[in-house]
């Protein structure tokens, strides 16, 4: 699946999180700029272009509230995991983590 997309007029960039249907994706914004409805976006790997017909409420990137341990050390490999940082409030809803 394509990963990186860039808005032609806004310059916004994002990472595709999942394909929710044949004509809809969810994404994580990477830049301070935001996409806008009617904007042409380009998928960087294939150079395929698409027009944004509507934008729904985006998910929030809460990665700064967690630390990530990849499970690797000098003697063995283990499972990676996320840990909530001290003093951070726990999310009220389910979270989805993407390891890119």
pTM of the model: 0.66
Q: What percent of the chain has pLDDT over 90?
A: 37
The string of pLDDT tens digits covering residues 48-66 is: 999 999 888 666 778 899 9
Cα–Cα nearest to 54, from 36, 80, 75, 73: 36
* Residue ranges of domains in the chain: 4-51
What pLDDT does residue 65 have?
94
pLDDT band at 86 (very low <50, low <70, confident <90, very high): very high
What pLDDT does residue 2 have?
62
What pLDDT does residue 35 have?
92
| 51, 43 Cβ separation under 8 angstroms | no
């Amino acid at each position: 699946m394509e990963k990186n997309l860039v808005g032609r007029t806004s310059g916004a960039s994002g990472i595709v999180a999942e394909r929710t249907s044949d004509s809809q994706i969810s994404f994580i914004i990477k830049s301070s700029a935001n996409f806008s409805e009617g904007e042409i976006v380009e998928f960087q790997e294939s150079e395929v272009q698409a027009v944004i017909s509507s934008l729904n409420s985006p998910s929030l990137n809460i990665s700064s509230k967690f630390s990530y341990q990849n499970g690797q050390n000098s003697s063995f490999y283990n499972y990676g995991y996320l840990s909530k940082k001290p003093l951070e409030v726990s999310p009220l809803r389910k979270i989805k983590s993407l390891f890119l």
